[in-house]
Amino acid sequence: MFCRHCGQENASNAVRCIRCGEAVSPEIASPRPTAGGQSQPPPITDAATTKTSVGNNLVWAILATLFCCLPTGIVAIVYAAQVNTKLSHGDIAGAQESARNAATWSWVSFGLGLLVSVAYVGLVFMSIATGH
């Protein structure tokens, strides 16, 4: 078979290209063997939703931590991380509970972050207005 990467001809039982090391075995070469031709969502949500129907809200938790409020965002991430752990133990109800908590704390983080931003901008304007 020919390497898809560099075009080098390899032995039919070759696993990797002898020239560039690219995987040429059909099993290894196909990146998503179970995709089934359906359109795939972005990788992060893909990993979170394909296994079960319980979303873990980890993306929102991380975004909330990065852009809003660190302490409450970390709480959200902890809950989001619990979702997959509980799912792997078959605890669907617990996973849904953790997912709900993760979403709640994410929103708390967004709210606090917004509040802090508004307060900060307000303080800056006040110091400008008073001449300091």
Q: Please report whether residue 4 would count as binding Zn ion according to CB under 5 A.
A: no
The C-alpha atoms of residue 85 and residue 102 are separated, in whole angstroms, by 14
* Residue in 14, 16, 22, 29 binding Zn ion, rule: CB under 5 A: 22
Residue 6 binds to Zn ion (criterion: CB under 5 A): yes
- Does residue 17 interact with Zn ion by CB under 5 A? yes
Q: Hey, is 2 helix, strand or coil?
A: strand
Q: Which three-class secondary structure state does DSSP give residue 130?
A: coil
- Cα–Cα distances (Å) from 45 to 54, 57, 109, in that order, read 11, 9, 20
Where does this chain touch Zn ion (CB under 5 A) — which range of 10-18, 38-46, 65-73, 115-123?
Answer: 10-18
Q: Contact with Zn ion (CB under 5 A): which of 8, 52, 96, 104?
A: 8
Q: 23 or 112: whose CB is closer to Zn ion?
A: 23
* CA–centroid distance for 75 within its chain: 16
Alpha-carbon gap, residue 106 to 112, rounded angstroms? 10
Tell which one of 19, 44, 122, 126 touches Zn ion (CB under 5 A).
Answer: 19
Query: Can you tell me which of 2, 9, 15, 20 binds Zn ion, judged by CB under 5 A?
Result: 20
Closest alpha carbon to 107 in 51, 54, 69: 69
Residues touching Zn ion: how many (CB under 5 A)?
8
The residues that touch Zn ion, with contacts defined as CB under 5 A, are 3, 5-6, 8, 17, 19-20, 22
